Structure 1
């Protein structure tokens, strides 16, 4: 009799496991779901991001800044996509391409991610961008390369 009483004390109640309790909505939507795309994409009429001019910035300093900025976006998905792209392509870019990539980095994280992965069409200002097209090819990862955040040197 004593054993039965002890078992009942540690055994969970069937009421606690009931599925009739209301479920709470998950505040953290999974990326690439329609709800996440809708919630995180900037509206079509959103103003262009304000540009921070850096007159006289040497090309090597710009390249180093872009490497850092591509790693520290705020979302892991964008960090991984942009930092691996920067590691592979920034060294061979000329000044014009670096400036275009710099302008792209001014855009919101999720917008860049969804433009690169083809979930959303980019606005007219990026429709003909060669850098964004290269980023799309990089995002497809047709070689099935395992990517990780690059080391800072």
Structure 2
């Protein structure tokens, strides 16, 4: 014979239960640990290879906002940059995506501009480009592949 057993559910609201038995859900973050991957030092890279790498790194940032701003900027200016300007742009791309985005849009309340970028010609050009004074619809530029013979 089957017996029907009904159990009454109770909810405990004691301080100990609410505190998850002393185990925090999210452990505190230790702000003293800072991990940053150092940029790769490239030697022997031709200027054509550097330009191609910078185009790729401008397009594949990880967040669409930065991809859009940087890929359009790269398409517009990289072919005219000198080796020193390419080096400066390369160093800028070593910064975190959201920092670059906020600096390009001059949103310094979210991410303050470090002193090392205050006089950057490349960043000023990026800021001017990001302003989009022509009010054009922003799209990712087409990739230019070498034509096959």
Structure 1 residue 122 displacement after superposition: 1.2
Which residue of structure 2 lines up, in the alignment, with residue 124 of structure 1? 115
User: TM-score scaled by structure 1?
Assistant: 0.67
1:51 corresponds to which residue?
39
Q: TM (normalized to structure 2)?
A: 0.69
Alpha-carbon distance in structure 2 between the residues aligned to 1:124 and 1:150: 31
Gapped regions of structure 1 (runs ≥ 5): 1-42
2: CA distance, partners of 1:146 / 1:137: 16
1:18-45 deviation per Cα after TM superposition (whole angstroms, max 9, x unaligned): xxxxxxxxxxxxxxxxxxxxxxxxx9xx
Alignment pair present for 1:147 and 2:138: yes
Conserved? CA contact 1:74–1:109, under 8 Å: yes
Q: How many Å apart are 1:51 and its aligned residue?
A: 2.6
CA RMSD after TM alignment: 1.8
Q: Contact 1:78–1:113 at 8 Å: present in 2 too? A: yes
Is the 1:49–1:107 contact (alpha carbons within 8 Å) kept by the matching residues of 2? no
Structure 1 residue 137 and structure 2 residue 128: aligned? yes
**Cα distance in 2, alignment partners of residues 94 and 48 from structure 1:** 28
Higher helix share: 1
Q: Which has the larger radius of gyration?
A: 2
Shift of 1:105: 0.4
Q: Find out whether 1:74 has 2:37 as its counterpart.
A: no
Distance, in Å, in 1 between the alignment partners of 2:35 and 2:88 is 18
- Give CA-to-partner distance per residue, 1:109-149, whole Å, 9 cap, x none: 00000001011131011111100000000000111122210
Separation (CA, whole Å) in 1 of partners of 2:65 and 2:39: 24
Instruction: Give the count of matched residue pairs.
Output: 109
Secondary structure of 1:69's counterpart equals: helix
Unaligned 5+ runs, structure 2: 1-30, 145-149
